Amino acid sequence: MDKLIKDILKQAPAIKVNGSLWLESDGTHFFGPGPVELLEGIAETGSISEAAKKMRMSYKKAWELVNTLNAQSVNPVVIPRTGGEKGGGSTLTDEALELIKYHRLLRQRFATFLAEETEKLKK
């Protein structure tokens, strides 16, 4: 008879099935949790540099992500506004908000999958 995983592994009650998820195209990852968090930060603060700071991401890296996302989208998802009195005021397009929403739902479905798998381990 098959042994159950919970009888094989010592710390079975504490074990979780976990994972990460991303979109990729031709093997290149994009649009994982990092870019999405950046978009959310820009939506919240209106500023690429503020959003980067919140994530402890370098300004350079944040710009790279924004440029990559814009390059991969039919229409730009972030409209950067540099300079000006307050030195910023970047806005997200509707497409960016749609991507954020999609990602949130995708992560919810993934969380459900992981929770179900974690439950199965205990049975």
Angle between helices 59-72 and 33-45 (to 10 degrees): 100
Q: Residue with structure tokens 């919810």? A: 108
Assess 18 for contact with its own copies (CB under 8 A). yes
- Nearest distance in Å: CB 66, its own copies: 15
Token match 């978009």: residue?
Answer: 39
What count of other Cβ atoms lies within 10 Å of the Cβ of residue 16?
Answer: 10
Measured from the CB atom, the residue of 71 and 85 that comes closer to its own copies is: 71
Q: With contact defined as beta carbons under 8 Å apart, do 67 and 76 qualify?
A: no
Q: Residues touching its own copies: how many (CB under 8 A)?
A: 40
Contact flag: residue 77 with its own copies (CB under 8 A): yes
Q: How far is the CB of 36 from its own copies (least distance, A)?
A: 13
Give the position of tokens 């500023």.
47
Residue 11, interface with its own copies (CB under 8 A)? yes
The yes or no reply on residue 100 touching its own copies (CB under 8 A) is no
Burial (CB count <10 Å: 0-12, 13-18, 19+), residue 63: middle
Residues at the site binding its own copies, with contacts judged by CB under 8 A: 2-3, 5, 7-11, 14-26, 29, 71-75, 77, 94-95, 98-99, 101-102, 106, 109-110, 113, 117, 121
